Amino acid sequence: MSTKHPIIAITGSSGAGTSTVTRTFQHIFRREQLEAAIVEGDSFHRFDRKEMKLAMEEARQAGNQHFSHFGPEANLLDELAGLFR
């Protein structure tokens, strides 16, 4: 990462506007002549929607109040980190 090659992460649940924010950044990068690689975070979710609903219910029943769409239990963070090595 550098000033010329920034890394920016945009996260949010479905319908939160992440695609709109991503397009806005793409326009800014183009205007500023910055080279940016776009990585879709959805590609690194551990579960699909149906599986996530089940996993959330299982976590709730187990008393895990911290299980989240954004936490390490629900995402393939090691694989995501591997992109930047």
pLDDT at 4: 67
Radius of gyration of the chain from Cα atoms? 16
- Block means of pLDDT (10 residues each) for the chain, 85 residues, are 71 82 93 84 86 96 93 89 82
pLDDT confidence of residue 14 = 72
User: How many structural domains compose the chain?
Assistant: 2
63 and 29 in a single domain? The answer is no
pLDDT of residue 23: 94
| Domain shared by 49 and 83, yes or no | yes
What pLDDT, on a 0 to 100 scale, did the predictor assign at position 70? 84
Where in the sequence is the domain holding 12, given as residue range(s)? 1-38
